[in-house]
Structure 1
Amino acid sequence: MSETVGNYLKKHSEALVKDVGVEAAARLCGKSKATLGRYYSTDPDHADRFMPVDVVAALEGSARFPHVTAALADLRGITLSYDQDKKNTSSGGVNSDVVALSQRFAMLMAEYNQSIEDGKISINEAKRLLTETLAIQKVLIDMKLNLEHEAN
């Protein structure tokens, strides 16, 4: 596996753990916080350690977004779509999706503008941009589902 792919998976593993919360994640999967940290550590000592599939499944069951599954799908060029029965959510339809998409895109552009101000994007700035692009991805998935529903 290339270093780029490994780092991509580690970043999404970290996003998954932080989505659930480190303490809650440790309880859910029966691993220590240190072990979870090693799964997404980019330190050379942990470069070949990745989150096991059973841990991913346990955490994604409680997460707001399937970060690792989405990353694996992205790497294969696969598009995911969610089940209509998402927990604790209600949809306002395509019109509200368009508004949400516009708002998220504006937030991404504002973040990008601020990040590129000094001519380079730092690691923290890149993480904030990644957060915004993931939020756009979630809105687009909702929009896709609403459009599929209207087409049927």
Structure 2
Amino acid sequence: MARCLTRLTIATLLSAALSLPAHAETGKVRFKFFKAGWFIGAQAGSGILSFRGEMYPFRIGGVSAGLTFGGSSTDLVGAAQNMHQASDIEGIYTALGAGLAVGAGRRAIQMRNAKGVVLTLEGEQLGLQFDFDLSGMSVSIQNQ
């Protein structure tokens, strides 16, 4: 009887430990990219992720479709939420957005990838651009 009770206690403790949700963390990010287009746009750039005291440089690339006219340089900072490890930032992010840059302006965006990482970014946009489009952005960590 004591063995059965011990096994039941161990099974209950293991079950409780395994059912606890994994602790997600937030990293800090900085994106700098250039976007240009005429109906179809393209963007390219780089960024840096600060996560658990380490810095991870990454590359940005992507396309947009919709109403895109002109070109701009964008520098955004913010948070990468719901991360378990640095590589979680990698993937394809999509966003429906609109913006206008005539000289200098502000930009804010929130995007999510398939791993559940949510990027909440804001910052400065310089250039001459109007966009109302569906954007896809690929983020990949650079080998150091």
- Give the number of the structure whose alpha-carbon radius of gyration is greater: 2
Q: Confirm or deny a common fold (TM above 0.5).
A: no
What is the TM-score when the length of structure 2 is the normalising length? 0.21
Bigger proportion of residues as strand: 2
Which structure has more RCO (C-alpha within 8 Å, separation ≥ 6)? 2
